[in-house]
Structures are given as C-alpha cells and as structure tokens.
Amino acid sequence: MSLKKKELVLEWYEKAEQDILAADIVAEANSMLYDVAAFHAQQCAEKNLKAFLVFNELFPPKVHDLNQLIDLAKGFDSSFEELREAESLSKYSVRTRYPADFAVDTQQQINDILTLAKRVKDFVRQKIAIQ
C-alpha cells in the first residue's frame, strides 16, 4: 500500500474513532443525548466504510446513506453484504439533528446502535490490515 493511501485511510479511521468515542461518552452522560450519540455512531460506520472505499482507490461519495456505501464496498468484496443491517443507522445521520419521529429513547436502543456501528468498524478494520 502506498504511503499516501495509508495516510488517507488512517485519516478516515481517526475521524471514525473520534465519532465512536464521542458516541460512547455522550450516551453515558445523559439519556437526553441519545440522539446525539446515535448521530456519532452513524458517522463512525459511514467513515469506516469510506475508509474501505479509499483503500480500494474509490473516492467516497458525499452521502450519508450506508446502503449506498455498502453497495459500493460490495463491488470490491461481496462479504460486505453481512453489514446490510447497518443501513438502519442511516436514519441517524443528519436527520437526527432536527426534530423527527425517530428519536432514540431507551438505553437498549442506543446500545444496539452503538453495537452495530462498532460491528461495521471492526469488520472494515479486519479487511484492511494497517500496521
């Protein structure tokens, strides 16, 4: 892997790591912030998928739709179909920044969201072994 590509992938990883760390901290801090935690969890999944696309030399589109990103990743590795459930995180992207009908109200909901985002993170990072 070229140094430039490695640096780009690591930049995506760093931003994704910041998002999941923020999600964990915010979720623990106050149940009124579950929507904020869900937003950061979605961002973590999105940025890890985009890191995989960069690794495969595809400039990631400026979208928040995880279904679309999973489809693009599947073009390089069909096993990304295993992440299809993560598409459910898409609704927590930009839309959670505004009043809506899909608030995250319970500890179980946010735990499930965080678990799914971390599953995407772990899956992608197993696909791209960077030392």
- Rounded CA-CA distance 76/85 in Å is 19
User: Under a CB-based contact definition with an 8 Å cutoff, are residues 19 and 44 in contact?
Assistant: yes
| Among 3, 36, 43, 53, CA closest to 20 | 43
The domain locations on the chain are 3-127
CATH superfamily of 3-127: Nucleotidyltransferases  domain 2 (1.20.120.330)
Indicate the pTM of the whole model: 0.93
Instruction: Return per-residue pLDDT of the chain as tens, 131 residues.
Output: 788 889 999 999 999 999 999 999 999 998 889 999 999 999 999 999 999 999 999 999 999 999 999 999 999 999 999 999 999 999 998 765 666 666 888 999 999 999 999 999 999 999 997 75
The pair of structure tokens assigned to 117 is 């985002």
